[in-house]
Amino acid sequence: MKKKLKSMEPADNSAVLSDDPAAQEEADLLRAYEQEIFARSEKHHNGPLLLSARDVVVRFNLRGQELTAIRSTSLDVYEGETLAIVGESGSGKSVFTKTFIGMLDKNGRIDGGELFFHGEDMAKYTTEEQWLKVRGKKIAMVFQDPMTSLNPVRTIGEQIAEVIMWHFGKSHEEAKAETIELLKKVGIHDPEKRYKQYPGEFSGGMRQRVVIATAIACRPEILICDEPTTALDVTVQAQVLDLIKSLQKELKMSVVFITHDLGVVANIADWVAVMYAGKIVEYGTANEIFKSPEHPYTKALLRSLPQLGTKGHDLYSIQGTPPSLFKQITGDAFAPRNTDAMKIDFEEEPPVFPVTDTHWARTWLLSPQAESYRASLLARDAEQQKNAVPETPFDYTNAEKLITVRDLTVRFKMGGSTFKAVNGVSFDIFKGETLSLVGESGSGKTTIGRAIMRIYTGNVGGEVTFKGSKITGKLSRQDKKKLHMEMQMIFQDPMASLNERAKVDYIISEGLYNYHLYESEEDRVAKVENILTEVGLTSEFISRFPHEFSGGQRQRIGIARSLVMNPDFLVADEPISALDVSIRAQVINLLNKMKKERSLTYLFIAHDLSAVRFISDRIAVIHKGHLVELAPCEELFAHPLHPYTKALLSAVPYPDPDSERNKVLIPYDPAMHDYSSDKPVWTEITPGHFIYGNTKELEGYRREAEA
């Protein structure tokens, strides 16, 4: 069976010539047909075709195994527009674009297909010299992490100028002048002075601007941006996106934008390619992809966004985890996770089906033969959407205070001087609610969580009470034990939060061992197995090591580890931000389910406002160690008062191209506050709505709130 299937997969194995002339002819035909569909969109593009990837196959040798990262994928890049490639980690989006500039890792190779650029097939390039003509000059690239993309020990000026000098053979002086121009162009003030500075003296956003300036130094025809904003804070992200957009227009270059964030896609993309398991499964204009997705994966992805969910109900979630690319994939790679899959999805690789001239997808659903089934699915979804009614907001009238935080201050020593990561923060957490703490990286949100969890002790000022008793400062053994059983934490990075060298059994039992919370060995195993089932994993996982699991599964193991202690209160420290979109919904649903079943209270720490809105009852916004605003969820979204909150909200990408294109960023400059004489205070301005400001500002806020 398998063998037969293999020969029926012309797309996957285009390089392999079939012995069977009929099958060969069929494959050729299919290929011609696909070319035809790809070509249809040509007239809808702004400019001519620049780069054309055809049936590219990329394989990696990984620990003796063969991994097919790109499974025969084609893509066209046209001049002067932005093409976004969306996909989750491991989908191959990054690897795919790396082939455009010959930057595959050493253990990877292009194993088939062509890459046409200026009439040459770059897939055949073998020497460095050939690539030197392309890299930087014709095709440039911006990496994800601006913190590591720049050489820390050379001035940014040198790093930009060297490109100009090398590619254009210009003198040092000329290159410098040009560099300063570039810096100006990417929005760096005082470029003459900045020219001589080192990357360490720039903030993340500024560095990314420098990286972009370097990339565009040679006026490349194509700029590949590999998740350029993922590592940035929302407000900065919005600015960088704006910059890329404006540069793209100004320089009339093509931008290939790789991201997993659909909101960003909506913001920036003219065209979108959705990639799953090493293959582009859907392609179309941004509007088409967002408004009328056809591939089940694209659909599911969009539906699982928390922005689109209804509060109190489960988010639509994609089951399971992405497939292993070490194995031969038969049929539609997404089929095993697709609850509505058809039998054919498991049997045969779907070909490309055109939707419009500019939109195509690889799904059997578009086959004329599946028309009726497709219609029934559409109808069902519409029905579900209609029935969703948001739950009533949390009732605070009789709420019992579980935790009070008063004037919490956390100090850190940094190079001899101490700085306050958290500065005089006060708030309450009521039993049964979800309080979200939102802020940018470095704002102190995680520190608050850890201070409550007593991970920081010596450097903590102020007071925290739990169920009425003080938990800061020295505690007896008994009290500590009680706290360990009643308060638990979930961590951000599922890769780092599980001990790689311990089995799942030990990881989950760790707390049980610590306080001997089981009667017998069988009892302990039963407890572990129960909790595993509860978080949606099977009990057979008990004897495995963490590395055998995917990110989502690991995060669920982390949750199980906390829940097995039966806590009342959970600090969830960015539990979903490191997860892929398709996995986030699972974890959010799980957290919500656990909250209901076990009447938990959450302190939810996040930087992603979209997910926060879906799950929280109240939101606290933190900026540079100060809480600036705290209000019930909907109140905050409807009537943000503090300028920082407003800026934050305005910057949040929303997965709708229409709203994203028209969105206006509200800038926030901390210098606008004049706290020199009039000291700010934390005030409850309307019932339940707290804000940080001085008397003058408060007055303004009050007026605004009333209006």
Partner 1 sequence: MTKYILKRILRSLVTVVIVFFVVFMLLRFMPLNGYFPDEMVKEADEATRMAYLRNLGLLDHPLVQLGRFVKNLFKGDLGRSITVYPKVPIATLLVEKIPVTAFLGFWSMLLGIVAGLSMGLMMVRFRSRIGDTLGNGYIMFVRAVPSLLYLFFIQIQISKWFNLPLVYYDDKPLSWILPIVSLALSSIAWYALWLRRFMVDEENQDYVKFATVKGLPKKQVLKKHVFRNAIIPLSAYLPSDLLNIISGSLVIETLYAIPGTGGLLTTAIKNQDNNLVQILVLMYAVVSILGVFLGDLLLAFVDPRIKLTDD
Partner 2 sequence: MNLPENKLRTLQKSLEKDPALFTPAAFSLAESEKTGASNYSYWKSTLRTFFRSKSVVVLCAVVAAILVMSFLYPLFSSVDPTKVSINPLDWNHRPSLEHPFGTDGLGRDIFARAWYGCRNSFILAFCIALSDVGIGMIMGALWGYNKKLDPIMIEIYNIMTNVPSTVYLVLLAYIMNTSYLTLFISMASRGWIVEARFFRNRILSIRDAEYNIASQCLGTPMRRIATRNIIPHIISLIIMEAALCIPYSIGSEVFLGFVGVGMPVDAITLGNMVNHGRASFTLHPYQMLLPAAVLCIITIAFYFLGNKFADASDPRNHV
Q: In a 3-state reduction of DSSP, which class is residue 464?
A: strand
Contacts with partner 1 in 413-442 (CB under 8 A)?
413, 415-417
561 versus 613: smaller Cβ distance to partner 2: 561
Contact 353, 360 (CB under 8 A): yes
Least distance between partner 1 and beta carbon 416 (Å):
3
163 versus 301: smaller Cβ distance to partner 1: 163
106 versus 474: smaller Cβ distance to partner 2: 106
Tokens encoding 179? 């560099």
Least distance between partner 2 and beta carbon 38 (Å):
13
148 versus 319: smaller Cβ distance to partner 1: 148
Q: Which does 480 bind (CB under 5 to 8 A by kind): partner 1, partner 2, none?
A: partner 2
Least distance between partner 2 and beta carbon 369 (Å):
5
How far is the C-alpha of 268 from the C-alpha of 619, rounded, in Å?
A: 28
Q: Which stretch binds partner 1 (CB under 8 A): 159-167, 173-181, 485-493, 578-586?
A: 159-167
Contact 122, 251 (CB under 8 A): no
How far is the C-alpha of 350 from the C-alpha of 359, rounded, in Å?
A: 16
Least distance between partner 2 and beta carbon 614 (Å):
23
Residue 659 near partner 1 by CB under 8 A = no
Least distance between partner 1 and beta carbon 110 (Å):
17
Q: In a 3-state reduction of DSSP, which class is residue 48?
A: coil
Strands annotated E in 391-459: 401-414, 417-430, 434-439
**C-beta contacts of 424-427 below 8 A and 24+ residues apart:** 424/462, 424/626, 424/682, 425/462, 425/622, 425/625, 425/626, 425/627, 426/462, 426/627, 426/682, 427/620, 427/627, 427/630, 427/690
Contact 402, 429 (CB under 8 A): yes
155 versus 367: smaller Cβ distance to partner 2: 367
Residue 169 near partner 1 by CB under 8 A = no
25 versus 192: smaller Cβ distance to partner 2: 25
114 versus 493: smaller Cβ distance to partner 2: 493
Q: What is the DSSP string of 155-219?
A: -HHHHHHHHHHHHH---HHHHHHHHHHHHHHTT-SSHHHHHT--GGGS-HHHHHHHHHHHHGGG-
Least distance between partner 2 and beta carbon 521 (Å):
18
Q: In a 3-state reduction of DSSP, which class is residue 302?
A: helix
How far is the C-alpha of 363 from the C-alpha of 235, rounded, in Å?
A: 37
Contact 605, 446 (CB under 8 A): yes
Binding mask 376-415 for partner 1 (x = CB under 8 A): -------------------------------------x-x
Residue 135 near partner 1 by CB under 8 A = yes
Among 132, 378, 672, 681, binds partner 1 (CB under 8 A): 132
Contacts with partner 1 in 298-357 (CB under 8 A)?
none
Tokens encoding 315? 């988010």
How far is the C-alpha of 558 from the C-alpha of 546, rounded, in Å?
A: 10
How far is the C-alpha of 380 from the C-alpha of 383, rounded, in Å?
A: 5
24 versus 148: smaller Cβ distance to partner 1: 148
Least distance between partner 2 and beta carbon 370 (Å):
5
Among 116, 125, 166, 412, binds partner 1 (CB under 8 A): 166
Among 32, 153, 638, 664, binds partner 1 (CB under 8 A): 153
203 versus 418: smaller Cβ distance to partner 2: 418
Binding mask 100-129 for partner 1 (x = CB under 8 A): -x-x------------------------x-
Among 60, 96, 143, 271, binds partner 1 (CB under 8 A): 143
Least distance between partner 2 and beta carbon 95 (Å):
14
Q: Which does 351 bind (CB under 5 to 8 A by kind): partner 1, partner 2, none?
A: partner 2
Residue 141 near partner 1 by CB under 8 A = yes
Least distance between partner 2 and beta carbon 424 (Å):
24
Q: Which stretch binds partner 1 (CB under 8 A): 141-149, 269-277, 451-459, 550-558?
A: 141-149
474 versus 501: smaller Cβ distance to partner 2: 501
Among 214, 358, 363, 497, binds partner 1 (CB under 8 A): 214
Residue 215 near partner 1 by CB under 8 A = yes
Least distance between partner 2 and beta carbon 505 (Å):
12
Q: Which does 565 bind (CB under 5 to 8 A by kind): partner 1, partner 2, none?
A: partner 2
* 110 to 45, 59, 60, 72: CA distances (angstroms): 28, 7, 9, 10
- DSSP letter (8 states) at residue 17: P
Residue 533 near partner 1 by CB under 8 A = no
Q: How many residues in the shown chain lie near partner 1 by CB under 8 A?
A: 35
Q: Which does 336 bind (CB under 5 to 8 A by kind): partner 2, partner 1, none?
A: partner 2
Selection from 57, 52, 81 nearest residue 272 by Cα = 81
How far is the C-alpha of 142 from the C-alpha of 538, rounded, in Å?
A: 41
Label the pairing between strands 487-490 and 569-573: parallel
Strands annotated E in 252-332: 254-259, 271-276, 279-285
Terminal Cα distance for the chain, rounded: 70
How far is the C-alpha of 398 from the C-alpha of 442, rounded, in Å?
A: 35
Contact 379, 42 (CB under 8 A): no
Q: Which does 137 bind (CB under 5 to 8 A by kind): partner 1, partner 2, none?
A: partner 1
Least distance between partner 2 and beta carbon 588 (Å):
18
Alpha-helical segments (H) within 535-666 = 551-563, 581-598, 609-615, 633-638, 643-651, 657-661
Tokens encoding 562? 């906390």
Least distance between partner 2 and beta carbon 30 (Å):
7
Q: Which does 111 bind (CB under 5 to 8 A by kind): partner 1, partner 2, none?
A: none
Among 44, 124, 154, 249, binds partner 1 (CB under 8 A): 154
How far is the C-alpha of 203 from the C-alpha of 119, rounded, in Å?
A: 41
Residue 200 near partner 1 by CB under 8 A = yes
Backbone angles phi, psi at 267, to 5 degrees: -70, -45
Least distance between partner 2 and beta carbon 306 (Å):
21
How far is the C-alpha of 466 from the C-alpha of 463, rounded, in Å?
A: 10
How far is the C-alpha of 554 from the C-alpha of 557, rounded, in Å?
A: 5
Q: Which does 64 bind (CB under 5 to 8 A by kind): partner 2, partner 1, none?
A: partner 2
450 versus 689: smaller Cβ distance to partner 2: 450
How far is the C-alpha of 333 from the C-alpha of 273, rounded, in Å?
A: 16
Which spans of this chain sit near partner 1 (rule: CB under 8 A)? 101, 103, 128, 132, 134-137, 140-141, 143, 145, 148-154, 159, 162-163, 166-167, 198, 200, 211, 214-215, 217-218, 413, 415-417
